[in-house]
Amino acid sequence: MSKTITLTINGERCELAVEGYRTLLDTLRNEAGLTGTKKGCDVGDCGACTVILDGKPVCSCLVLAAEADGAAVQTIEGLGKNGKLHPLQESFVRYGGAQCGFCTPGMIMMAKALLDANPRPSEEEIRFAIAGNICRCTGYTKIIEAIQAAAEE
Amino acid sequence: MSDLSVIGTSVRRPDVPGKVTGHARYAGDIALPGMLHAKIKRSTIAHAHIRRIDVSRAAALPGVRAVLTHETVPRVLHYGSPHPRSASVTRDQYILDRKVRYWGEGVAAVAAESEEIAEEALDLIEVEYEPLPAALTVEQALAPGAPVIHERPDNLVVEPVLVKRGDIDRGFAEADFVIEGTYELGRPTPAYMEPNVCLCQWDAEGRLTAWISTQTPFMVRGILAEVLGVPLSKVRVLVDHMGGGFGAKQDLFQTEFLCALLAREAGRPVRLEFTRKETFLGGRSRHPGTVWLKQGFTKDGRITARQGRVTLNSGAYGSHAPGVTSVGTWALTSLYRCDNVHLEGRAVYTNTPIAGAYRGYGVVQTYYALDCQLDEAAERLGIDAAELKLRNAVREGDLSPSGHPIVGHGLEDCIRRGRQETNWPPTKAKQAGRRRRGWGMGCEMHGSSAYPGIKEQGNATVRMNEDGTLQLFTGTTGLGTGAHTALAQVVAEEIGVRFDDVSVVHGDTDVVPWDIGAFASHTTYMGGRAAQMAAAEVRRQLLERAAEALEAAPGDLEIRQGIISVTGSDRRISVRDAIAPQKGVPSVQLVATATYRPTKSYSFAAHFVEVQVDVETGQIDVLQVIAVHEIGRVIHPVAAAGQIEGGIQQGIGHTLTEDYVIDLKDGRSLNAGFVDYKMPLSMDMPPIRTVILETAPDPGGPFGAKGVGEDPIIAIGPAIANAVHDATGVRFRHYPITPEHVVQAMKARSSK
């Protein structure tokens, strides 16, 4: 049974027909064509699919698209403006916060949600905020440096 | 070499903007019109013949477009890892077989209009098994009358690796004391963030295009062509960005063949993506196993003899077992000097998931034993462990495991620098309370390139455009380490242009020069050297042309920052002007291809760690890591440090928490997911102080550079185990060292 839902994705309102069982993650990737949001586990364990839903970071694999009807979704693609990188994105480039890059979109969205709520987090607060976002390449060292540097800007 | 301008600077990595904006395309991000979705049915038994497999109900399900079983796929015995005919890998796999050899092995595949339909179809496939007794441990597989898993009744993957140097009987006779121990090694998995994925499409001319998350696109192309019976010219493998591989994505996972065959049968593109659970079931782990090690020492700390027996559990297929066993066993000839060495390495089939290549490739296992035992010897001798290791460290001219003399004194430098950084030895804290702190250190060395197990070859093509910018064509794969950036830096440095003037073309087997793949810590070392050689030839051609314009001999010219000048004069011309079209005549094509066949170089590291052990809960926290690495020449300091920090993270993982557990009753996987397979997260990771030394550059690498990819995962394990001993007085001879083990050991001690 498909259902028509309305989502505001990165500021653009769109209508999508989705099956009742379809996750927000699959809807973003396959229906909206926004493949920046990654599928690392599809069961809410890794955080690679983190997006910001009505201001709150969520694992988009744990949200049904139908549940998000009427909501505003922010994905990694909506972060930079006019070809310019968001300070977090710039910081991840500069400080080596991304290696393979597969966790990066989710990591940056989680960091954005943190900085939106707490513009000057301590290192401990950063570590806590990204505790559900698994990175297998960096040891988190440079990710934390990147988030700290972005916060200081 | 102090006049290097691009090498040694952390230039902006061109691959990263795409990664931070979500625009970087991974194999799983590609969608094609008419694309079908495939799923694999996996066995629910560890060892059995398939008596009957009935797919009629699955095939009849609306939306199902193709179903494959062992009865309908080509029966071609093939290599599990695509290094055909090398001594490192085995040829023991079929795409699908009549027999299953571990719980979770693929037995059938379906392509359907949606993933949901494909999944539903899997449930409709009926498989009738004729169960066979299973050998789930090495002991069971080696016992008399054990179930035979492949052809060999002894269940060995290959003939044992035997190493004999000197005379161990004489060596042990010279010893003042002997230490002997058996070290048990868990089953960590690489757990790359991007699940394995493959998308296959055939065109009307019978050409296959495959987007695959693989470290070895040319090897995959070769084995796909061989097994599918098509020429290489009709197989194109594409891989742009990759979400990690850590060695394991050198193998073929049944998926690539099945995806290609389903696409051919259905006449539509087919996408096959592993679930996270399947990355455990159908993926590759590090080899679990045991290392028995016995060494003789003199009173002044010299090692007189070393005898070792390495026994690795290969799981159901051989994959990289020959290479891992050989590299791990041979590694024990080195690191700490010893003239009398006798080693034996074996790899054994069991009915468990497949072990393969994973960062550290056998050396993680054997150096854990070796380094922990040196720590034990230091305690017996009353000598500081770092001092004992320094006295015995391999040095310039010693024979390395690959048979080459060691270049430079990297290991000594690492130990010395680490001692300075930590004010070693640390003052001994009183160990009585609940939370006890301790320090430990460990050492390692690791080769760049898989030589001599694999005779390697790196190729590169460099082409100058008519505006003076350059294209580097490389077959190396970008796992995420920044290797392509490093290669572009090498080209820019060699020619004398700015980094931004060099673009890298990669990821398409139809376009770039052949490459053996990204593994064995060799991409910068080998691919970089090939790129340097090609760049040098383009530079030569360029200078020849510029010499005419400048009316000077090519040998009198130099290029800096894109400006060609005559040495000692003010005559100059930009690279752009030197190559530009003139009077309507197009620019001359400056292009060069180079081939490099490396032997081997060794990188070194010493890791110093502080831990805290809660003796009531058994919790071990790593408080800080000081990692000193000697890598010859650092090309991109941030990328190099990033790899080191990431390797330490994975090493902390396998030492303390990571273990893929197989039920010894039935071979079932018990923790195939990220909740139960516990990796270090941001809250668990300690601060890491990374120190990179460039004291032993190797002439085999570009500007002296050596590999760094695998090194950081090796020394951290024994360093932690040694620190735990320092904190608690308990010497653990296994990994992972879990809280349960600590609590049990503390209880056992207090009851004595």
Q: Which two tokens stand for residue B452?
A: 């001599």
Q: Please report the pLDDT score of residue B495 as a whole number.
A: 98
Which DSSP string do the residues of B545-582 spell out, in sequence order?
A: HHHHHHTS-GGGEEEETTEEEETTSS-EEEHHHHHS-B
Q: Please report the pLDDT score of residue B501 as a whole number.
A: 98
Q: Please report the pLDDT score of residue B17 as a whole number.
A: 97
Domain presence at residue A144:
yes
Interface contact flag, B480 A99, Cβ < 8 Å: yes
Average pLDDT value for chain B: 96
Domain presence at residue A82:
no
- For the cut 90, the answer to whether the pLDDT of residue B68 exceeds it is yes
Q: Please report the pLDDT score of residue B584 as a whole number.
A: 87
- For the cut 50, the answer to whether the pLDDT of residue B310 exceeds it is yes
Q: Looking at A76, A102, A123, which one is the last position of a domain?
A: A76
- For the cut 70, the answer to whether the pLDDT of residue B289 exceeds it is yes
Q: Please report the pLDDT score of residue A82 as a whole number.
A: 84
Q: Please report the pLDDT score of residue B85 as a whole number.
A: 66
- For the cut 70, the answer to whether the pLDDT of residue B84 exceeds it is no
| Radius of gyration of chain A measured on its C-alpha atoms | 15
Q: What pLDDT digit, counting tens, does each position of A28-69 carry? A: 999 999 999 999 999 999 999 999 999 999 999 999 999 999
CATH number at residue A91: 1.10.150.120
Distance CA A138, CA A104 (A): 11
Distance CA B534, CA B505 (A): 14
Task: Provide, as residue numbers in chain A, all residues whose Cβ is less than 8 Å from the Cβ of B640.
Answer: none
Q: Please report the pLDDT score of residue B370 as a whole number.
A: 98
Q: Looking at A16, A48, A76, which one is the last position of a domain?
A: A76
One domain, residues A144 and A98: yes
- 8 Å CB contact between B373 and B569: no
| Shortest distance, CA B725 to any CA of chain A (angstroms) | 24
One domain, residues A7 and A65: yes
Domain presence at residue A54:
yes
Once rounded to an integer, what is the mean pLDDT over residues B730-741? 98
Task: Provide, as residue numbers in chain B, all residues whose Cβ is less than 8 Å from the Cβ of A137.
Answer: 193, 244, 480, 642-643, 646
Helices B363-381 & B716-728, crossing angle to 10 degrees? 30
Interface contact flag, B20 A104, Cβ < 8 Å: yes
Domain presence at residue A119:
yes
- For the cut 70, the answer to whether the pLDDT of residue B83 exceeds it is no
Domain presence at residue A50:
yes
Interface contact flag, A93 B13, Cβ < 8 Å: yes
One domain, residues A7 and A60: yes
- For the cut 70, the answer to whether the pLDDT of residue B630 exceeds it is yes
One domain, residues A16 and A71: yes
CB-count burial class (<10 Å; 0-12, 13-18, 19+) for B739: middle
- Please state which of the ranges B409-418, B446-455, B687-696 shows the lowest mean pLDDT: B446-455
B20, B246, B642 ranked by CB distance to A142: nearest: B642
Q: Please report the pLDDT score of residue A55 as a whole number.
A: 97
Q: Looking at A57, A76, A95, which one is the last position of a domain?
A: A76
Interface contact flag, B685 A137, Cβ < 8 Å: no
| Shortest distance, CA B12 to any CA of chain A (angstroms) | 7
- For the cut 70, the answer to whether the pLDDT of residue B1 exceeds it is no
Task: Provide, as residue numbers in chain A, all residues whose Cβ is less than 8 Å from the Cβ of B625.
Answer: none
Residue of A50, A136, A138, A144 to mutate when probing chain B, most B C-beta within 10 A:
A136
Q: How many structural domains comprise chain A?
A: 2
Once rounded to an integer, what is the mean pLDDT over residues B501-517? 96
Q: Which two tokens stand for residue A40?
A: 């690392």
Domain presence at residue A133:
yes
Share of chain A above pLDDT 90, in %: 95
Distance CA B598, CA B344 (A): 27
Share of chain B above pLDDT 70, in %: 99
Q: Please report the pLDDT score of residue B21 as a whole number.
A: 98
- For the cut 60, the answer to whether the pLDDT of residue B2 exceeds it is no
> CA-nearest residue of chain A to B649?
A139
Taking Cα atoms as reference points, which of A22, A20, A21 lies closest to residue A30? A22
Q: Please report the pLDDT score of residue A32 as a whole number.
A: 96
Residue of B12, B193, B240, B626 to mutate when probing chain A, most A C-beta within 10 A:
B193
The DSSP bridge pattern shows strands B289-297 and B106-112 to be unpaired
One domain, residues A51 and A14: yes
> CA-nearest residue of chain A to B32?
A30
Q: Please report the pLDDT score of residue A39 as a whole number.
A: 98
Once rounded to an integer, what is the mean pLDDT over residues B470-477? 96
Distance CA B740, CA B285 (A): 23
One domain, residues A92 and A127: yes
Taking Cα atoms as reference points, which of B136, B197, B70, B39 lies closest to residue B669? B136
- For the cut 80, the answer to whether the pLDDT of residue A99 exceeds it is yes
Q: What ipTM does the predicted assembly reach?
A: 0.98
Q: How many residues does chain B have?
A: 752
CB atoms within 10 A of CB B85: 8
Domain presence at residue A81:
no
Those residues whose C-beta lies under 8 Å from the C-beta of residue B25, and which sit 6 or more positions away, are A35, B18, B240, B241
Q: What pLDDT digit, counting tens, does each position of B321-352 carry? A: 999 999 999 999 999 999 999 999 999 999 99
One domain, residues A67 and A46: yes
Domain presence at residue A94:
yes
Q: What pLDDT digit, counting tens, does each position of B120-133 carry? A: 999 999 999 999 99
Distance CA B711, CA B646 (A): 11
Residue B711 gets which letter from DSSP? G
One domain, residues A103 and A124: yes
Q: What pLDDT digit, counting tens, does each position of B548-578 carry? A: 999 999 999 999 999 999 999 999 999 999 9
One domain, residues A71 and A17: yes
Q: Which domain holds residue A36?
A: 2-76
Average pLDDT value for chain A: 97
One domain, residues A13 and A51: yes
**Full set of structural domains in chain B with CATH:** 16-22+457-596 (3.30.365.10), 31-132+191-281 (3.90.1170.50), 289-452+599-750 (3.30.365.10)
One domain, residues A35 and A92: no
- Please state which of the ranges A58-62, B142-146, B373-377, B595-599 shows the lowest mean pLDDT: B595-599
CATH number at residue A29: 3.10.20.30
One domain, residues A25 and A52: yes
- For the cut 70, the answer to whether the pLDDT of residue B252 exceeds it is yes
- For the cut 60, the answer to whether the pLDDT of residue B232 exceeds it is yes
